[in-house]
Amino acid sequence: MADKENKKIEIKVTGMTCATCAATIEKSLLNLEGVKKAEVNLAREIASVEYNPQKLRINDINNAVKDAGYDVVHERAILKVGGMTCVMCANSIQNALEKLDGVIKVTVNVTSEKVYVTFNSKVVSISEMKKTIEESGYQYLGIEGEALEDLKRENIQRDRKYRILVGAIDSAILMGLMYMPMMMLPHELSMSLLMFLVALPAFAYLSYPIFKAAYRSLKNKNLNMDVMYSMGIGVAFFSSVLGTFKVLHHDFMFYEAAVMLATFLTLGRYLEERAKGKTSESIKRLMGLQAKSARVIRDGKEIEISIEDVVVGDTVIVKPGEKIPVDGEVILGESFVDESMISGEPIPVFKEKGSKLIGATINKNSVLNFKATNVGKDTVLSQIIRLVEEAQGSKPEIQKIADKIVTYFIPTVLAIATISFISWYFIFGSTFLFAITSLISILVIACPCALGLATPTAVTVGIGKGADLGILIKNGEALELSEKLTAVLFDKTGTLTKGKPDVTDVLPFDITEDSLIKMAASVEKNSDHPLANAIIKKAEHKGIDLSESKNFDTFGGKGVKASVSDKEVIIGNRTLFNEKKISIRSEVEEKIAKIENEGKTAVLISIDNKLSGIIGIADTLKDTSKESIEKLMNSGLKVYMITGDNKRTASAIAKVLSIKNILAEVLPEDKAKEVKRLQNNGEVVAFVGDGINDAPALAQADVGIAIGSGTDVAIESGGIVLVKNDIRDVVLAIKLSKKVMQRIKQNLFWAFAYNTALIPVAAGVLYPTFGITLRPEFAGFAMAMSSVTVVTLSLMLKRFNPKNN
C-alpha cells in the first residue's frame, strides 16, 4: 500500500564531477522525511527520487540538492493569460499554480498579462498549468510566441464592444421609460414590469462574464473585484425585481443602474485592455525588427527558408537592402551595414571577411556571405527581448507593498459597506432604499484594480522606453534603487576612456628603442591587457618581428614577466619594481613623473633585474565623458573614479573631468571592496564598468551599470546594461529610473486618493451636512475610469525624453 502512495520523479542536477558528488546528493535526499529511495546517475546528471507527496513537496527535494552544494536545472515558460483585472486576479493565478507539484516559482504581471513559471517538466506539464488557469476563471492564451494570443485578445475585445453597445442602448431605453407618461402604457402593463422585461435580456448578456468570474473566484477561495461588483449589480437588480413584484416598495427600481453598472465595468475593462496593449508596444516593435526568412546554401544550392530553420554553421546570403537574419561572421564579400538599431549610430559600419554581424541590422550596398553563429533565442536581438520581458515581469519593493495592501482592501470595503448599511438603516433610521443604495455604491466604487495597476503599468512602459533608448533595465529593483543613488563610481579604462590605449613615449636606457619594444612586445603577446595590446600594436607598426618567450607569469594587476632570449624581462608598475627590489634612479623618477603628470601610464621594463626603459601609454578620454560627469554632479550625485593607475596619472585624468573623488592604485579584485567601503559609509552606489572585468564590483554595487558593446547584452552582472556603449546613457538611465518611480508614486497617490475620497462619499458621510449622495451608476463609472486613468498616466512615460529633461 505504501508503494502506491509514493511518487517517482527525476531531477536534472548540474555541478557533479565524481561519484562522491552523487553520493553526497543521495545522502542529502535520503535524510528527508518522506523520501523512500534516491539514486543519482552521474553520466545523465539525473537524480531519481521516490517520495511520499503527503509528507514532501518538490521544492523540499530541490532545496536538499541545493543544500548539498549543487544546482537543479528547471525549465521556464512564459504563459499568456487573459481576463486579469487586478492584483487579486494575479494572486489567484499565482496561488493556484504554486499548488501544482513541480512548479517552483510563479510571477504574474497583470499589465502584460504574462505568467512567468519556473517548473520541473518531468513533474508538471504546460497542459496541467493551462487547466489550472482555466479552472481559476481566466483565459489561457498560449505560451510566449504563439499567434493564438492576439487572436483571442481581439475576440475578447470585440465581444466587449458588442456588450457595451447593447448596454448603452438598453440603458438609454430604460432612462427614457422612466420619463414616459403612464397613460401611454397598456392598462395591464405596469411601468416596473416593462422595465423588468427590457432590462432582463441586456442585464443577463452583460453580467454573465462578471458573475462567471466571481463564481470561479469564490470557488478558488479568492475575493476579487468581480466578487464585489457581482454583489453590487446583483443586489441592484434583485431588489428591483422584488420591487416589481411588490415584495419591496415600488421605489426600489434600480434596473437602469444595474444595466449601466455592468456597462461601465465592461467599458472600463475594454479601455483598460486597450491601454495595457500599448504598454508593451516596445516589445512588439523589437519583435518586428526580426527577419522572417533567410537565404542559405544547402547541398550546394541557394534556398530560402524560415528564420526558425536556420542552424548554427549555415552559410547565409544577404543582399543589399535586406535584413541580416541571424548573428554571424562574414566569410565572403564587403559591404556597409546599418547597425543603428543596436548602436544608435546613423553611420553604416564597414564589414569584411571576419567581421561580426548582428541579426536584424540592414545590409546596405553589397552582397555578403556569412556563417551563422547565433540563432533563435541566442541572437543579440532575442536576448534583448528576453531581458526586457523579464524586467517587465519583475516587481520593485513598492509594488510588493501595494499588493499586500490590496489583499486587505476588499475585506475592508465589504466591512465598510456592511457597517454603512447597518448604521443608516438600524441606527440613523433612514429608509431601507437609502441604506441599500449606499451599500451598492460602496461595493461598485471601491477599486483595488487601480492600486494593482499603478506599479506594473509604469514599470512595463518605463522599461520598454529604456529598451527604445538602448538602456536595458533588467529588474524592478534597479529602477527603485536608481532613484535613491547618492554616488556613482566609474571604472576608468574602457568606461571613461576609449579603452584603446596607444604608445606615446619610448625612453630606452642602454638599449635601442626597437630592441626595447621587441623585448616588451615579446612578453606582452601572452597577455590580453589593453596596455599589452598597445605595446604589441606599436611593434607591428614599426615592423618588428617578435621573439619566443618562456615561463610567462602575471602579478595580479601589477605586471608580467617572461624569459626572452634567455633574459628575464619584467614589465610593470612602480609597485612591482619595488617588490622585486629593482632600483629606479632619481633622474628616471623625474621622467616617470613627467609622463604621469600628462595623464599617461608609465610602463617600466627591466632586463635581468636592471631598469632598461620606460614606455608611456595614453588612453584617450571619450568625447562624452566630461559632459556626462558634469550632468551627474549637477544633479547632486557624488562622482568617483576608480583605477589601477598610480595617483599621479589618475589625478591628471580626473582633473580634466573635474572629478575630485579619486580611488587610485586599486587592483581589479579590490574594486568590489571599495564599493562596499562606500556603502558602509552610507552611500547608495552605482558602479559603471565594462560588465566582464568589473563583474564583482557591478554585483556588489546597489545598481550595477554595465556598458556593453552592442553584442554584450547578456552581461550577467549589473542591473542595467547600456547597449550602445555610450557613457551619456548613464545619465539617461538614472533620469528614466527616477521618472518611472515618480510616475509609480503618482499612480499610487491617485489610486489611494480616489478610494479614500469616494468610498466615504458613497457611504453617505456628506449626506447629513450637504445632502450629497453618490448614485450607483455614477459610482460604477468612476470606478471604471480610475483604472483607465492610472494606465493612461503610465502611458505618458512613452513621451518622456530624458535627453531633454
Active site residue ranges: 491
Extended beta strands in 307-419, E state: 315-318, 327-332, 335-338, 349-351, 356-357, 362-363, 368-374
| Distance in angstroms (rounded) separating the CA atoms of residues 637 and 587 | 42
Helices 647-657 and 625-634, axial angle in degrees (round to 10) = 70
Angle at the Cα of 710 from the Cα atoms of 695 and 483, rounded to 5 degrees: 60
| Distance in angstroms (rounded) separating the CA atoms of residues 740 and 432 | 47
Which residue, 660, 697, 666, is CA-closest to 679?
A: 697
* Sole residue written with cell 530553420: 309
Q: Could you give the strand order of the β-sheet that contains 35-41, starting from the edge strand earlier in sequence?
A: 35-41, 46-51, 7-14, 71-73
Type of residue found at 754: Y
Helices (H), strands (E): how many in the chain?
27, 30
Residue 362 CA, chain-centre distance (Å), reads 27
Grid coordinates given for 256:
437602469
Grid coordinates given for 254:
434600480
| Distance in angstroms (rounded) separating the CA atoms of residues 441 and 409 | 16
| Distance in angstroms (rounded) separating the CA atoms of residues 8 and 35 | 10
Helices 728-763 and 397-422, axial angle in degrees (round to 10) = 10
* Sole residue written with cell 462574464: 209
| Distance in angstroms (rounded) separating the CA atoms of residues 270 and 279 | 15
Grid coordinates given for 273:
485592455
Type of residue found at 390: E
Look up residue 495 and give its DSSP letter.
I
| Helix residue spans in 556-641 (DSSP H) | 574-579, 586-597, 625-634
| Distance in angstroms (rounded) separating the CA atoms of residues 426 and 429 | 6
| Distance in angstroms (rounded) separating the CA atoms of residues 633 and 721 | 21
C-alpha distance across the termini of the chain, in Å: 71
Q: Do the beta carbons of residue 260 and residue 97 sit within 8 Å?
A: no
| Distance in angstroms (rounded) separating the CA atoms of residues 389 and 286 | 11
| Distance in angstroms (rounded) separating the CA atoms of residues 221 and 40 | 40
